[in-house]
Amino acid sequence: MVEQTTVLQQTEAQPKSPAGAASSSLRHESAHLHVAGDARYVDDVPLPQGAVHVALGLSSRAHARITHMGLDAVRAYPGVVCVLTAQDIPGHNQVSPVGAGDEPLLAEDTVFFCGQPLFAVVAQTRHAARHAAVLAQVEYEDLPAILNIEQARAQGSPLVCRSLEMTRGDAPHALAQAPHRLAGQLAVGGQEHFYLEGQAALAWPGEDGEIRICSSTQHPTETQHMVAHILGRPNNLVTVEVRRMGGGFGGKETQANIAACLAALAAERTGKPAKLRMDRDDDMLVTGKRHDFVIDYDVGFNAQGHVLGVDMQLAARCGWSADLSGPVTDRAMFHADNAYYYPDVRLRSIPLRTNTQSNTAFRGFGGPQGAAAAERIMEEIAFATGLDPLDVRLRNVYGTTDRNVTPYHMTVEDSIAGEIMTQLAADCDYRKRREQIRVFNRTSPHLRRGIALTPVKFGISFTATHFNQAGALVHVYTDGSVQVNHGGTEMGQGLHTKMVQIAMREFGLSKERVRITATTTGKVPNTSATAASSGADLNGMAVLAAVRTIKDRLVAFAADKWHVAPEQIRFTADGVVVGAEVIPFATLVNAAYMARISLSSTGFYKTPKISWDGATGRGRPFYYFAYGAACAEVLVDLLTGENRIERVDILHDAGQSLNPDIDIGQIEGGFVQGAGWLTMEELFWDTAGRLRTHAPSTYKIPACSDRPRIFNVKLLENAPNREETIFRSKAVGEPPFVHGLAVLHAISDALASLNDYRTCPGLNAPATPEQILRVAERLRQQGGETNAQVHA
């Protein structure tokens, strides 16, 4: 069997030269565990003796005063240990990640959304806890509920956080002077993360008030702070550990705190280890999702399709509390230009408070919604001018020496979106296929094809400048084996694999000699969330710094011991070259130990060059941009609105990739997730504010057959990052998500055939079969009017 399976193995790059190791396609460090069921997630950790289980009791009203919380039946259920309410919280009943003070962990006297946690049942089994939780008799006095953007605007609902405005030039003047002007509205839906592993945490009480938590969190430090805050203890008593998550996508950046805090509270109250793993339905009812937006745009342009001025208002459903809605709606504005230059521009965010789940981070963090508006504008101009949408896009793409300042006054120094689009269009034969599709559509009554090519330009860095820091801790043991630890978390994106590769490359070691360990606040403190695509950029540099500190010590030691110049010492796969000699790494390390050289080091990194002033809407929030383009071809059934993706070609910029296979995996996966968001994934609340799509039976993420039938993904070659990132790579987590927009626009292109391509279909997202059929009916009936009104 061993012999047989080697036939299967690809030649995994095991380069002799360590220089290759960091850019080779090493397999995921846990792949062999994943496939065997041996990779442990929170719920797989063997439970300590006497462990208790926690289940949630949820609000059934969208907005109401609690007049009576009848918990006797819950307490009386066999196996129940205790029931915890807001009164049981010894510290502060607040988990707002931005300190807004608007997010109690457990409801106090008022509930603000349907699904809000009211109480937590602690029982001897998970089964008992779940069965007991549904026995509560809660009485409410309903209050007026605001459920969506339309209601919030109509009723003047307060904002959940401050609005941001970005202006450059004089947009009203430019619009007034423009030869052509269009105004319209785009609605883009939200999205459930649907990480396959639901929210989970396991807490162990220790001595003297210590508490250790195994959490499925993207942000161990924040989870640590929240638990300390809830329990009223200093941070140094709380340790949060994460080996891996079964997916995160932003949904475990702040939302993981709920499970961790309640498990910690249960552990604190009972003195026993306590676990909370949410049932999928509870998870979807309780936690926030991607923000849905309604974006009003007003654009001035000329007959050649050049944008002259843009005025845009981006209204978002934020849910009941601020959570991360401020930075999310900010980022929608940072990407409301996508890859295009707006000569005069005014953008404004409207973050609306609603009585729904508190929307939160989700891959792209508002950016994809903003980019969707930019692409709609390009599409509108194309239909208004009769130009190919690709030509409109190319005419408006950022320049390299001029037309290169963003609405937030940052100069785009490395604009390559235009080149990528041009290259992709040639590679995938866009123009010829577009003509063929038009011919096909003329004679096909019910099935129509469509094609679109869209770019992405994605700003890399946390817009909150202080988050752009990272730490690492590297230990070399006397047998020459290495342990790497850093502040980032592994959620499937391959971050740990890349970190191992950096240590392998620097020390000249094989992967067997480098061990990555669970992320823990006890090893690397004060970390940032693994988010904003920044995991490898930040932590990679921190790991590199730690490794180089140790290498510098080893070099100094070896130079002294063997009397060679430091420049003559190199770490290679064959061992450490010291002058004419090659010394095994372990030998060198052991000798250094005997000479009392420290073999352990921290590493630290902070991103240079960046700054951002939200008050003025100016700065350089991003260290650099990641680019790419996608071309999608779809087939639409006009009898039912059903559709499928026939072919997708993507050319994406990952700089000098740290691991091409992992990066391609991020692009393929990000694309499908983005396409799902814009097509089949639909969140549906009823008129009482109850989320009716709270399980995979009703909320449909793409399945296997939804992937493009032909799917070509390429990394841009010979494109090292112009900035000094880790080995000149570029972040790759979020940018490919935006490629899903090509699908929305391809569907729109197919629909436009109904009107002989005369009017912009104005297709909103998600483009479900129903939405598509509605637009088809409108195009057929109205015969030429568009969603946008021409102002003259």
Partner 1 sequence: MRHHISFYVGDTLHHLSDLPPELTLLDWLRDQQGRTGTKEGCNEGDCGACTVLVGRLEQGQLVWRAVNACIHLMWMLDGAQLLTVEDIRGPDGALHPVQQAMVDEHGSQCGFCTPGFVMSMVALSTRANLAELEGTLDGERVINEALAGNLCRCTGYAPIVRAMKKAALYCARNGEPIGARTAEITARLRQLHDGQTVELTSREGRVTLPASANALATAYAADPAAVLVAGGTDVGLWVTKRLRRLPHIIAVRSAQDLHQCGLRPDGALWIGAAVTYSEAMPLLVAHLPAAEDTLRRIGSTQVRNAATVCGNIGNASPIGDGPPIFMAAGAELHLRCAQERRVVPLEDFFLDYGKQDIRPGEFIEGVLVPPLAQGSVCGVYKVSKRFDQDISAVMGAFVLRMGADGTIQDARLAYGGMAGIPRRASGAEAAMRGQPATQATLYAAQAAVKEDFTPLSDMRASAWYRTTVAANLLARLFEPLMPGSPPAAQTLQNWQEVAHG
Instruction: Write the single-letter amino acid at 776.
Output: A
Please name which of 455, 445, 461, 387 lies closest in space to residue 422, comparing C-alpha atoms: 455
Tell me: does residue 8 bind partner 1 (CB under 8 A): yes
Is residue 529 left, alpha or beta, with left meaning phi > 0 and alpha meaning psi from -120 to 50?
A: beta
CA dist 277 → 93, 280, 294 (Å): 21, 9, 34
| Nearest distance in Å: CB 410, partner 1 | 31
Assigned token pair, 649: 């070609």
Tell me: does residue 697 bind partner 1 (CB under 8 A): yes
Residue 343 · residue 312 · CB < 8 Å? no
Tell me: does residue 714 bind partner 1 (CB under 8 A): no
User: Which of 23, 24, 30, 721 touches partner 1 (CB under 8 A)?
Assistant: 30
Of 390 and 743, which CB lies nearer to partner 1 in the complex structure? 743
| Nearest distance in Å: CB 287, partner 1 | 15
Of 93 and 441, which CB lies nearer to partner 1 in the complex structure? 441
| Residue carrying the six token digits 């401020």 | 326
Tell me: does residue 280 bind partner 1 (CB under 8 A): yes
Q: Which residues pair with 637 in a beta bridge?
A: 447
- Return the DSSP state at 718: S
Site for partner 1 in 328-387 (CB under 8 A): none
Beta-strand ranges (E) seen in 389-518 are 447-460, 469-476, 482-486, 514-516
Tell me: does residue 615 bind partner 1 (CB under 8 A): no
User: Which of 10, 49, 87, 718 touches partner 1 (CB under 8 A)?
Assistant: 10
Calpha distance 296→275 (Å, rounded): 45
Catalytic residue, chosen from 268, 380, 734, 777, is: 734
Tell me: does residue 705 bind partner 1 (CB under 8 A): yes
Site for partner 1 in 486-515 (CB under 8 A): 491-494
User: Which of 315, 373, 531, 680 touches partner 1 (CB under 8 A)?
Assistant: 680
Q: By rule CB under 8 A, what string of x and - marks binding of each residue 571-600 to partner 1?
A: ------------------------------
Please name which of 711, 735, 262 lies closest in space to residue 456, comparing C-alpha atoms: 735
User: Which of 72, 142, 581, 770 touches partner 1 (CB under 8 A)?
Assistant: 770
User: Which of 73, 76, 134, 303 touches partner 1 (CB under 8 A)?
Assistant: 134
Please name which of 653, 664, 663, 657 lies closest in space to residue 726, comparing C-alpha atoms: 657
User: Which of 151, 706, 757, 785 touches partner 1 (CB under 8 A)?
Assistant: 706
Site for partner 1 in 224-263 (CB under 8 A): 244-249
Range in contact with partner 1 (rule: CB under 8 A) among 171-179, 550-558, 604-612, 658-666: 658-666
Tell me: does residue 687 bind partner 1 (CB under 8 A): no
Range in contact with partner 1 (rule: CB under 8 A) among 78-86, 201-209, 525-533, 765-773: 765-773
Assigned token pair, 604: 């630290």
Phi, then psi, of 576 in degrees rounded to 5 = -90, 120
Site for partner 1 in 102-131 (CB under 8 A): 127, 130-131
Assigned token pair, 554: 């080893």
Tell me: does residue 433 bind partner 1 (CB under 8 A): no
Range in contact with partner 1 (rule: CB under 8 A) among 70-78, 394-402, 513-521, 693-701: 693-701
Tell me: does residue 780 bind partner 1 (CB under 8 A): no
What is the enclosing helix (H) or strand (E) of 214?
Answer: strand 211-215
User: Which of 16, 32, 173, 606 touches partner 1 (CB under 8 A)?
Assistant: 32
Instruction: Write the single-letter amino acid at 273.
Output: P
Q: Are strands 482-486 and 469-476 parallel, antiparallel or unpaired?
A: antiparallel
| Nearest distance in Å: CB 29, partner 1 | 11
| Nearest distance in Å: CB 143, partner 1 | 25
Residue 451 · residue 437 · CB < 8 Å? yes
Residue 291 · residue 328 · CB < 8 Å? yes
Range in contact with partner 1 (rule: CB under 8 A) among 16-24, 189-197, 396-404, 513-521: 189-197
Radius of gyration of the chain measured on its C-alpha atoms = 27
User: Which of 239, 313, 539, 673 touches partner 1 (CB under 8 A)?
Assistant: 673
Assigned token pair, 684: 């549906």
Q: Indicate if 734 belongs to the active site.
A: yes
Residue 436 · residue 390 · CB < 8 Å? no
Q: By rule CB under 8 A, what string of x and - marks binding of each residue 260-279 to partner 1?
A: -------------------x
Tell me: does residue 734 bind partner 1 (CB under 8 A): no
Range in contact with partner 1 (rule: CB under 8 A) among 471-479, 585-593, 689-697, 720-728: 689-697
3-state secondary structure (DSSP) of residue 259: helix
Calpha distance 449→223 (Å, rounded): 48
Calpha distance 398→335 (Å, rounded): 13
Of 47 and 790, which CB lies nearer to partner 1 in the complex structure? 47
Of 303 and 639, which CB lies nearer to partner 1 in the complex structure? 639
Tell me: does residue 707 bind partner 1 (CB under 8 A): yes
What is the enclosing helix (H) or strand (E) of 593?
Answer: helix 585-594
CA dist 524 → 166, 378, 473, 515 (Å): 37, 46, 7, 16
For residue 482, the tally of other CB atoms under 10 A from its CB is 24
User: Which of 306, 644, 714, 728 touches partner 1 (CB under 8 A)?
Assistant: 644
Q: Give the active site residues.
A: 734
